[in-house]
């Protein structure tokens, strides 16, 4: 049936017009995440002109027009189809908190930084970024006739079984190949859930669910075994709490 292929390193940006603040934040990140790649910018222009993509961005909300940077980043992500980066505002001003969440900010940290709080927020942000990046980079290699088809996990809605075949429902089409659902369930990991003996669903793609169904943005609706409903809800809430992508 094929293999799962896999995931890129995390990149973090820090943007503040106070060099000392940038260095403090970078130091705290290095203490918690020594393997992360950290880029420091002292101006809005430098960050935007870099054209780089980051998993997580720490932005000052006032000194370097953090809200303008955030809006520009969100516009670029929407225009290019990039996945959403995680925005964390670090500021001495409480007044902008409501506006920060208008650009889907992940969190709002006040200066002077509380080291324990910073560590907690960074850990949650990294979990969410890592889950999103793994989902974006990993793919399923399907053997179809004499060809191999690569399907990104992030593009899969659900997989169903039919006799000895599995049918992959994805954003760009539907693909059939020989395989076993049990093997796929193990290989795809915690972001996929076996809702029924015949269905394996991508938790990042749900648009709704009920006691006996799961619905997707594609318009498809599949069976959720009633005896699995409570376990599914617990699994989905845990998945969301640990940073998984949520569309409901």
> For 5-61, how does the pLDDT look when each residue is reduced to its tens digit (9 = 90+)?
444 568 999 998 888 999 999 999 999 999 999 999 988 788 888 888 899 999 987
The pLDDT of residue 244 is above 70: no
In a domain, 57, yes or no: yes
Q: Which of 136, 166, 199 is the last residue of a domain?
A: 136
- pTM beyond cutoff 0.85: no
Looking at the structure, do residues 126 and 70 belong to the same domain, yes or no?
Answer: yes
For 218-238, the pLDDT digits (tens) are 899 999 999 999 999 999 988
Q: What band does 66 get if pLDDT is binned at 50, 70 and 90?
A: confident
Looking at the structure, do residues 50 and 85 belong to the same domain, yes or no?
Answer: yes
For 124-139, the pLDDT digits (tens) are 999 888 777 766 677 8
For 89-117, the pLDDT digits (tens) are 988 877 766 666 677 788 889 888 999 99
Residue-level pLDDT at 7: 47
CATH number of the domain residue 32 falls in: 3.40.50.2300
The pLDDT of residue 247 is above 90: no
Looking at the structure, do residues 15 and 116 belong to the same domain, yes or no?
Answer: yes
The pLDDT of residue 159 is above 70: yes
DSSP the chain: ---EE--PPPEEEEE-S-HHHHHHHHHHHHHH-TTSEEEEESSHHHHHHH----SEEEE-SSTT-HHHHHHHHHHHHHHHTPPPPEEEEEES-STTHHHHHHTT-SEEEESSPPHHHHHHHHHHHHHHHHHHHHHHH-EEEEEETTEEEEEEGGGEEEEEEETTEEEEEETTEEEEEE--HHHHHHHHGGGEEEEETTEEEEGGG--EEETTEEE-TTS-EEE--GGGHHHHHHHHHHHHHTT-----
Looking at the structure, do residues 14 and 73 belong to the same domain, yes or no?
Answer: yes
Burial label for 211, CB within 10 Å (0-12, 13-18, 19+), is exposed
Q: What band does 1 get if pLDDT is binned at 50, 70 and 90?
A: low
Residue-level pLDDT at 226: 94
Residue-level pLDDT at 218: 86
Residue-level pLDDT at 104: 77
Looking at the structure, do residues 155 and 212 belong to the same domain, yes or no?
Answer: yes
How many domains are there within the chain? 2
Are 47 and 41 contacting, i.e. CB atoms less than 8 angstroms apart? yes
Looking at the structure, do residues 108 and 166 belong to the same domain, yes or no?
Answer: no
In a domain, 2, yes or no: no
Looking at the structure, do residues 126 and 169 belong to the same domain, yes or no?
Answer: no
Range of the domain at 55: 9-136
Residue-level pLDDT at 45: 83
Residue-level pLDDT at 141: 87
Looking at the structure, do residues 13 and 102 belong to the same domain, yes or no?
Answer: yes
Residue-level pLDDT at 51: 81
């Amino acid at each position: 049936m094929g293999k799962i292929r896999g995931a890129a390193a995390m990149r973090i940006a820090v943007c503040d017009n106070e060099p000392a603040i940038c260095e403090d934040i970078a130091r705290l990140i290095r203490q918690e995440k020594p393997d992360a790649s950290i880029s420091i910018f002292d101006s809005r222009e430098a960050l935007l002109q870099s054209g780089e993509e980051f998993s997580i961005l720490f932005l000052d909300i006032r000194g370097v027009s953090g809200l303008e940077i955030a809006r520009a980043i969100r516009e670029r992500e929407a225009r290019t189809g990039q996945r959403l980066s995680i925005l964390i505002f670090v500021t001495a001003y409480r007044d902008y908190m409501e506006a920060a969440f208008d650009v889907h900010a992940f969190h709002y940290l006040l200066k002077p930084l509380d080291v324990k709080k910073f560590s907690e927020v960074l850990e949650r942000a990294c979990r969410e970024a890592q889950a999103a990046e793994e989902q974006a980079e990993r793919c399923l290699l399907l053997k179809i006739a004499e060809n191999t088809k690569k399907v990104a996990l992030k593009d899969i809605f659900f997989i169903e079984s039919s006799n000895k075949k599995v049918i992959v429902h994805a954003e760009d089409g539907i693909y059939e190949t020989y395989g076993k659902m049990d093997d796929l369930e193990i290989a795809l990991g915690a972001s996929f859930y076996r809702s029924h003996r015949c269905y394996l669903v991508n938790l990042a793609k749900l648009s709704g669910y009920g006691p006996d169904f799961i619905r997707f943005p594609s318009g498809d609706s599949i069976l959720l075994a009633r005896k699995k409903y409570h376990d599914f809800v617990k699994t989905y809430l845990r998945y969301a709490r640990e940073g998984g992508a949520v569309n409901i």
